[in-house]
Amino acid sequence: MPPDIVSLGSGALLAQAEFDRLSERGRRFLGSRVAIMGGAMSWVSERNLVAAISNAGGFGVLAGGSMGPDALADEIAGTQALTTRPFGVNLLTMHPRHLDLIAVCREAGVGHVVLAGSVPSGAAVRAVKEGSRLICFAPALVLARRMVRLGADALVIEGSEAGGHIGPVSLAVLAQEILPHIAEVPVFVAGGIGRGEAILAFLEMGAAGAQLGTRFAAARESIAHPRFKDAFIRARARDALPSVQLDPRFPVIPVRGLLNAGTQAFLRQQAAAMARVDAGELTREEAQLSVEHFWAGALRRAVIDGDVEHGSVMAGQSVGMVTAEQPIAQIIAELVDQACGALAARHDPARP
Cβ atoms within 10 Å of 158's Cβ, excluding its own: 27
DSSP letter at 65 equals T
CA 50 vs. chain centroid, Å, equals 11
Within 10 A of 215 (CB to CB), how many other CB atoms are there?
Answer: 25
Predicted model pTM? 0.91
- Residue ranges, the chain, pLDDT below 50: 1-8
Question: pLDDT tens across 133-166, in order?
Answer: 999 999 999 999 999 999 999 999 999 999 998 9
Residue 91: the pLDDT is 97
H helices of the chain, in order, are 12-22, 24-30, 47-55, 69-82, 98-108, 122-129, 141-150, 171-178, 196-205, 214-217, 226-234, 261-278, 284-303, 328-347
Domains of the chain: 3-223+322-342 (3.20.20.70), 226-303 (no CATH)
Distance CA 61, CA 308 (A): 24
Work out the burial of residue 249: count CB atoms within 10 Å of its CB; fewer than 13 is exposed, 13-18 middle, 19 or more buried. Answer: exposed
pLDDT, position 5: 43
Name the residue type at position 317: Q
* pLDDT of 351: 53
Each residue's pLDDT tens digit, 317-335: 999 999 999 999 999 999 9
CB of 110 within 8 A of CB of 136?
no
The answer to whether the Cα torsion of 43, 226, 216, 137 is positive or negative is: negative
pLDDT attached to residue 7: 46
Residue 261: Cβ-neighbour burial (10 angstroms; 0-12, 13-18, 19+): exposed
**For the chain, how are helix, strand and coil distributed in percent, rounded to 5?**
50, 15, 40
CA-to-CA distance for 189 and 107, rounded, in angstroms? 29
What pLDDT is recorded for position 352? 52
CB-CB neighbours of 346 under 10 Å: 12
d(CA 50, CA 54): 6
